[in-house]
Amino acid sequence: MLDGKKVLFSGMQATGNLTLGNYLGALKNWVSISDEYETFYSVVDMHSITVRQDPAELRRRARTLLTLYIAAGLDPEKNCIYYQSHVSGHAELSWILSCYTYMGELSRMTQFKDKSAKHADNINAGLFTYPVLMAADILLYQSDVVPVGIDQMQHLELTRDIAQRFNSIYGDVFTIPEAYIGKVGAKIMSLQDPAKKMSKSDENPNGSIYLMDDPDTIIRKFKRAVTDSEAHVHYCDEQPGIKNLIDIYCACTGKTPADAEAEFEGKGYGDFKLAVGESVVSVLRPLQERFADLSKNKDYLDSMIKANAEKAQYFSNKTLRKVQKKIGFPERVR
Ligand code: TYM
């Protein structure tokens, strides 16, 4: 609890271009529930360097991501929006927690297995201990709730295990966080392969809708989306391409799958795909416009970045000092 409110933490990597999956699975939910919580939304740039990055590009993407958080509707006066690398406690707590995390636990993480297969020439220790840094992000703020897409559930379970293990040794140090998974859009799949999640790092750009795609590109990608030969807009596991499009449509319009089935009864996939594309365009257009306006306002963004980093540093220090004391690090002389 902070100021009588429960605490919410979440973050996104500043790697690649943000996709509709990131928006519908995470960012959109952040905006809708943020008023109920004391919130911390981090641009997790330290996580990004587990894969080689071009420095100028990483800096640019981090700034873009932070601006997108605000453009999506998170007011930086009310929500603590900051860069992970500006708050030293993330790395400090991560080291401590890594001494309470087992190699076996980390080697079971599917994201580690996937990423090490993909970057076989650079399987660095950071890629392996990545989930410990994520646990530190969350536990540093005594977070009660963590809104994420389904793909992050395994990391969240590990965070809970680490926190419980630590608490069982030292008493109630950490709040045990709960995941918040949205009702719709928690796993948006690739438009080109509905068995694969839509991902920032997909080599095929037609599989993903990027938040900065223009309307023509969005409509074109939906027209090309892989479906099936059933010619029937039906929400079922046997039609994964159509199911994914219905999920996207519902997440963008607030309709239910039953509404969508009724609306497109007897109509071809062409009409349906166009309607899905248009629903996405109408969600992304205002976000893109706000992004363009905000990007011009450098001073405002800079002052907000400074103030929020200080706020995050202040709150994270409280937990860090508590943890350091519990494990027996010498007290600071004031
Ligand atoms: P990242 O940057 O890969 O993704 C950011 C958020 O977007 C969600 N997401 C999706 N949701 C639905 N459908 C998809 N296709 C899809 N793709 C991505 C993710 O679940 C996530 O919520 N390790 C995290 C970043 C992180 C973090 C944290 C998150 C670091 N520390 C602490 C929460 C709390 C990651 O790589 O997310």
Q: Which atom of ligand 1 is nearest to the CA of 44?
A: 30
Structure tokens at 216: 């023509």
Which positions of the chain have pLDDT values less than 50? none
pLDDT, tens only, 249-304: 999 999 999 999 999 999 999 999 999 999 999 999 999 999 999 999 999 999 99
Give the per-residue pLDDT at 3. Answer: 76
In single-letter form, the type of residue at position 211 comes to L
Asked if 14 and 65 count as a contact pair (C-beta separation under 8 A), the reply is: yes
Name residues contacting ligand 1 (CB within 6 A): 9-13, 21-22, 25-26, 44, 47, 134, 137-138, 146, 148-149, 151-152, 155, 186-188, 197-198
What's the CA gap between 234 and 84, in Å, rounded?
A: 43
Give the per-residue pLDDT at 63. Answer: 96
Q: Helices 298-327 and 269-296 sit at what angle, rounded to 10 degrees?
A: 90
pLDDT, tens only, 229-241: 999 999 999 999 9
DSSP state at residue 206: G
Give the per-residue pLDDT at 17. Answer: 86
pTM for this one? 0.95
Give the per-residue pLDDT at 15. Answer: 84
Any bridge partners for residue 10, and if so which? 41
Integer CA distances (angstroms), 44 to 29, 62, 137, 175, 235, in order = 18, 8, 9, 21, 35
Domains of the chain and any CATH numbers: 7-180+298-327 (3.40.50.620), 205-292 (1.10.240.10)
5 is catalytic: no
Nearest residue (CA) to ligand 1, atom 31 = 134
